[in-house]
Amino acid sequence: MNETDGKTLTCGLLAHPAGHTLSPLIHNTLASMTGKNLVYVPFDVDPSDIGDAVKGAFSLNILGMNATVPHKEAVIPYLKEIDPLAKNIGAVNTLVRTEDGTGYKGYNTDMTGLKRSLANQNITIKGQKVIILGAGGVARAVAFLMASEGAEIIYVLNRTVERAQEVVKEVGEKVQGSRFVALSMDEYDKIPSDSKYLCVQSTSVGMHPNNDKAIIEDPKFYELVHTGFDIVYRPMNTKFMQLAERAGAKVCNGLEMLLYQGVDAYELWTGCSITKEQCDIVYKAMCD
Ligand code: ATR
């Protein structure tokens, strides 16, 4: 834990419950490495208190906050400003003091973190053919990122096809440019097999303790995939990743996305530029 004094800057996490989280490790390590007198503290905030918590944080001169489940949507009414990507997604995970110092501006670094994690693997989204598995809140956000960054075509597959159709309609209306197709999870044979796809597994299927499950078990599906990105990071090598890798795809879990959502937030709060070497040190600490 960093030493504190009257000049210590505070950042924190709005969570409920605020049990296991890697965010203090990420931010307190970044603070040490960048020589900032800054501490990061998780706060367990009851959903009924979220407005008071945001106002209280501002009054306490808290530099920045993260918001996680169940507060990512609930904080929005208490913000002074909102970044366009976060607005489209309808979820905010990072609060930054506005330039005029009158409140907080909301960002979604979960998705910029995903973007940066992909860039780190040398994967650009622009012009990419994409398959998104799932149609919940995370999948919706992934669809917004992919469309905003100019993916050529986006297939959204979901067990409940109606939810996939809703995502396709909503994202397609708000962000122009990409083509969208909604399918049920077992309709992957309708995806043209003359191309390879970036596939983002955006459900909780395969998360610890269900390590032996993959959202699609058929090895044939994975022949469509050139890169398999799983937003799950526990276990580190998910069944989805194993199946994709077996079919020759490059694979990545969600731990790097978690790292970069933190790095993006830290940079927004402090104005620091975190180097690749510094990111690698934090990532290693997260794996320990
Ligand atoms: P989140 O906001 O974390 O994305 P969510 O809105 O509950 O959570 O969405 C969960 C996603 O995982 C959905 O796409 C869900 O499919 P349905 O819309 O059909 O429910 C998917 N999902 C969860 N468990 C699943 C399972 N066992 N098999 C297939 N899909 C599953």
Render pLDDT for 168-222 as a digit per residue (tens, 0 to 9): 999 999 999 999 999 999 999 999 999 999 999 999 999 999 999 999 999 999 9
User: What value of ipTM does the predicted structure carry?
Assistant: 0.97
Where does the chain show beta strands of DSSP type E? 9-15, 38-44, 64-67, 81-82, 94-97, 104-107, 129-133, 153-158, 179-184, 197-201, 225-230, 250-252
pLDDT for position 2? 64
Distance of CA 91 to the CA centre of its chain: 11
Ordered strands of the 94-97 beta sheet: 38-44, 9-15, 64-67, 94-97, 104-107, 81-82
| Interval 135-157: pLDDT, tens | 998 999 999 999 999 999 999 99
Q: Are both 96 and 120 inside the same structural domain?
A: no
Q: Are both 103 and 116 inside the same structural domain?
A: no
**CATH number of the domain encompassing residue 224:** 3.40.50.720
Q: Are both 26 and 57 inside the same structural domain?
A: yes
Cα of 183 from ligand 1 centre, angstroms: 14
Give, to the nearest 10 degrees, the angle between helix 276-287 and helix 255-270.
130
Which residues are CB-neighbours of 100 under 8 A, at least 6 positions away?
none
Q: How many distinct structural domains can be found in the chain?
A: 2
Phi then psi for residue 260, to 5 deg, are: -75, -25
Residue 281's identity, in one-letter code, is: I
| Interval 222-277: pLDDT, tens | 999 999 999 999 999 999 999 999 999 999 999 999 999 999 999 999 999 999 99
Average pLDDT over residues 50-73: 97
Q: Are both 116 and 249 inside the same structural domain?
A: yes
Q: Are both 63 and 130 inside the same structural domain?
A: no
Q: Tell me, yes or no, whether 140 lies in a domain.
A: yes
Average pLDDT over residues 8-28: 96
- Name the residue of 114, 138, 157, 203 to mutate for ligand 1: max ligand atoms within 8 A of Cβ: 203
Which residue segment(s) compose the domain that 279 sits in? 9-107+256-287
CB atoms under 10 Å from CB of 177, counted, come to 12
| Interval 63-75: pLDDT, tens | 999 999 999 999 9
Q: Are both 187 and 100 inside the same structural domain?
A: no
Q: Tell me, yes or no, whether 116 lies in a domain.
A: yes
pLDDT at residue 132 tops 70: yes
Q: Regarding predicted confidence, which is higher, 2 or 253?
A: 253
Q: Tell me, yes or no, whether 180 lies in a domain.
A: yes
Strand partners, 38: 9
Residue nearest to atom 26 of ligand 1 (CA): 205
Q: Are both 147 and 76 inside the same structural domain?
A: no
Q: Are both 75 and 168 inside the same structural domain?
A: no
Q: Are both 118 and 247 inside the same structural domain?
A: yes
Strand partners, 122: none
pLDDT for position 1? 56
Average pLDDT over residues 155-174: 97
Strand partners, 251: 228
